[in-house]
Amino acid sequence: MNELIPALLRGLWITVQATFGAFALACALGLILAILRRARIKWVSVPMVWLIEFIRTTPLVVQAVFMWMALPRLIGMPLSALTVGILSLGLHYSAYLSEVYRSGIEGVPRGQWEAAVALNFSPAQKWLRIILPQAIPPVLPVMGNYLIVMFKEVPVLMAITLGEMLLAANSYIASTFADGIVPYSLVALFFLAVSYPSSLLVRLMERRLNRQRGTQYGNRIRNRRSRIRGERTV
Amino acid sequence: MEIGFEIVEVGSVVNEPYEGGGKLSMHMHAVPLAETAAERGSVRPMVRFRNIRKSFGELEVLKGVDLDILPGEKVAVIGPSGSGKTTLGRLLMTLEEPTSGTIEVDGEYLWHMEKRGKLVRADEKHLHRMRSKIGMVFQHFNLFPHMTILRNVTEAPIRVLRMRRNEAERLALEMLDKVGLADKRDNYPSQLSGGEKQRVAIARALVMKPQVMIFDEVTSALDPELVGEVLAVIKEIAADGKMTMLLITHEMEFARDVADRVIFIADGRIVEQGPPSRIFTQPESERLQSFLGRFRAYRAGR
Ligand SMILES: Nc1ncnc2c1ncn2[C@@H]1O[C@H](COP(=O)(O)OP(=O)(O)O)[C@@H](O)[C@H]1O
Ligand SMILES: [Mg+2]
């Protein structure tokens, strides 16, 4: 027990690092994939669709062990399990996040694109100033959920010897010949202790966002309410 | 002057001072009509459509449109819904690419450019340069909901024209004042009425100082009581005289008051055109006669 808890905490710390590293990668790469697959040039957009489909239809664990073997050879340099873990988890979820972005982008009315053209914004300005500021806020809660999903996926990276909690528990059991019930229960408990509050946070964010949209975008409703109360609207 | 239909509520609203003040002056026919200018061969058209065709898949929407618009000329486009009026404006705004034919703006091809003596498809750089001459106001306003009114108007001058922020804000407030909405500068679009939104959209387009402005049915998404304030603003801009305007509209009184020339489009072709005084009183083609007749019946029935 005296060794188990610190080992699990070390595993938790690695899990958190892998999660945030991979999430950052998935957010950036997912956005690029989402934008490229909308490209008007077919030989840009079509391969993107294939790539996204390929990543989503093969298991993460296969992608991870493949990269674990192939990446060091490709660059001729040893890579840590954490690095490959972040790369593989991040790449895998970039395909999912690109779909999240896509739904956000498709939620922006066509007229917004047309106004951006009519005002002569460059493609980069159009994305940064007009489209993304409207596309991303509505999908932030979904992105938050993916963060939690990715956190729970980290034990898959045990396959590439990443020292996360499940591997720590296994090592402990192997070296002390202890029964698995307590170590594995503790692993589950640790996941619960992080995931559950996080999901509450995401839900809070969702509610906050809806309220914000209520003040900015859907102001009519608020105006109507305050009109009923006989107040002046701003 | 005899007009083929009754001027009803819209006309009377238009002639009242709109919110925000400012006098309305009647637009004068300052610019010679296309035919006469073409005969003289003196003035280069600001916009020139040449044998423009546009198909969406199997459907041919524009079937060979030729149209010259002179600098400063106000051209109203009328016609039944689905006849291709919006498509014509969208081709000029570079929102759609013509299937065949050419468009010239200010003496240069819009959708083509010359490369080693040959005419090739325009690239994004060419389109970007040409677009700076053209502005558009849309039926559904298309204001940016995540920006305040002031930012809606200043964003393009700052980002696209690289104007300094305080300079852009000064200019934007001048334009917002022109449309009577300077006091809404810190509001969001969702806090405005439809008529106010459309006036902001007009200010947003004006601030870019286009040489040609396209107005596509800018009042048809508005409640009837809000139509007048928007038309009044457009009339005032038209009265300034310099800007070339393509006014796609079904407000016949407005077309008559503002336009130098009225184009009647049906089935993707220009069927008839001429000065409003003739088009509305002595329509020659059967198509236009029945179109105006239906229009009159509709107004009478209201
Ligand atoms: N992007 C598009 N794809 C397919 N059909 C279109 C598209 N835009 C317009 N159309 C069709 O073209 C015809 C003309 O449309 P439009 O130019 O909007 O007419 P108008 O503005 O005169 O009412 C209509 O039948 C319309 O359905
Ligand atoms: Mg239309």
Predicted local confidence at residue B240, as pLDDT? 86
CB spacing of B142 vs A217 below 8 angstroms? no
Long-range contacts from B16-22, C-beta under 8 angstroms, 24+ separation = B16/B228, B18/B180, B18/B228, B18/B229, B18/B232, B18/B233, B19/B180, B19/B229, B20/B177, B20/B179, B20/B180, B20/B181, B20/B182, B21/B180, B22/B178, B22/B180, B22/B236
For A20-35, write each residue's pLDDT tens digit: 999 999 999 999 999 9
- B262: enclosing H helix or E strand: strand B261-266
| Banded pLDDT at A1 (limits 50, 70, 90) | low
Q: What is the mean pLDDT of residues A8-29?
A: 96
Q: How confident is the model at residue A50 (pLDDT cuts 50, 70, 90)?
A: very high
* Chain A residues with CB-CB distance to B205 below 8 A: 118-119
Say what the pTM is: 0.83
Is there an atom of ligand 1 within 6 Å of B58 CB? no
The token pair at A37 is: 């697959």
Residue B84 CB–ligand 1 contact under 6 Å: yes
> CB atoms < 10 A from the CB of B177, how many?
16
User: Quick one: pLDDT at residue B28?
Assistant: 39
Predicted pLDDT at A234: 32
Q: What is the pLDDT of residue A216?
A: 53
Q: What share of chain A is helix, strand, coil (3-state, %, to 5)?
A: 85, 0, 15
Q: Give yes or no for residue B263 CB within 6 A of ligand 1.
A: no
Q: Identify the pLDDT of residue B41.
A: 60
- Residue whose CA lies nearest to ligand 1 atom number 9: B87
Residue with tokens 């066509």: A110
Max avg pLDDT among A37-41, A113-117, A223-227, B15-19: A113-117
The region that residue B114 occupies, defined by phi over 0 for left and psi between -120 and 50 for alpha, beta otherwise, is beta
Is the CB of B187 less than 8 angstroms away from the CB of A129? no
What structural domains and CATH numbers belong to chain B? 2-301 (3.40.50.300)
Total domain count, chain A: 1
Measuring CA to CA, how many Å separate A186 from each of A9, A19, A172?
11, 19, 12
**Which one of A114, A120, A217 has the shortest CB-CB distance to B160?**
A120
d(CA A79, CA A173): 27
- Name the closest ligand to CA B77: 1
Least confident range of A71-85, A126-140, A205-219, B7-21: B7-21
Q: How far apart, in whole angstroms, are the C-alpha atoms of residue A101 and residue B233?
A: 39
Mean pLDDT computed over every residue of chain A: 89
Q: Is B141 helix (H, G, I), strand (E, B) or coil?
A: coil
CB A178 within 8 A of CB A102: no
The answer to whether the beta carbons of residues B143 and B197 sit under 8 Å apart is: yes
Q: A150 lies in which domain range?
A: 4-233
**Residue A162: which of A170, A171, A154 has the closest Cα?**
A154
CATH number of domain containing A32: 1.10.3720.10
What's the pLDDT score for residue B43?
Answer: 85
Which of A40, A41, A112, A120 is most worth mutating to test chain B (most B CB atoms within 10 A of its CB)? A120
H/E run at residue A124: helix A123-125
pLDDT at B9: 34
Q: What is the pLDDT of residue B302?
A: 58
Query: What is the dihedral sign for C-alpha A36, A129, A111, A216?
Result: positive
> Which H helix or E strand runs over A143?
helix A140-153
Q: What is the pLDDT of residue B48?
A: 97
Sheet holding B134-137, edge to edge: B134-137, B212-216, B244-248, B74-78, B261-266, B269-274
Pairing mode, if any, of strands B59-69 and B47-56?
antiparallel
d(CA B113, CA B95): 17
Strand partners, B262: B76, B274
Residue spans of chain B under pLDDT 70:
1-41, 301-302
**Helical H segments across chain B, by residue range:** 9-14, 34-40, 85-92, 124-131, 149-159, 165-178, 194-206, 224-240, 252-258, 276-279, 286-301
Structural contact between residues B270 and B264, judged by C-beta atoms closer than 8 angstroms: yes
Q: List all residues 6 or more positions away from A187 whose beta carbon is below 8 Å from its beta carbon.
A: A8, A165, A166, A169
**Residue in A with minimal Cα distance to B158:** A121
Residue A55, CB-side half-sphere exposure with 13 Å CA sphere: 24
Contact B156 A120 (CB under 8 A): yes
A117-168 tens-digit pLDDT: 999 999 999 999 999 999 999 999 999 999 999 999 999 999 998 988 999 9
- Residue of A110, A114, A117, A119 to mutate, interface with B, max B Cβ within 10 Å: A119
**Span B241-251, pLDDT tens digits:** 899 999 999 99
Please report the pLDDT score of residue B301 as a whole number: 66
Give the per-residue pLDDT at B263.
97
At B137 the pLDDT is 97
Q: Which ligand is nearest to the CA of A110?
A: 1
Distance of CA B85 to the CA centre of its chain: 11
Which of A114, A130, A216 has its CB closest to that of B190? A216
Residue A52 CA to residue A55 CA, distance in Å, equals: 5
Lowest-pLDDT choice from A38-52, A90-104, A211-225: A211-225
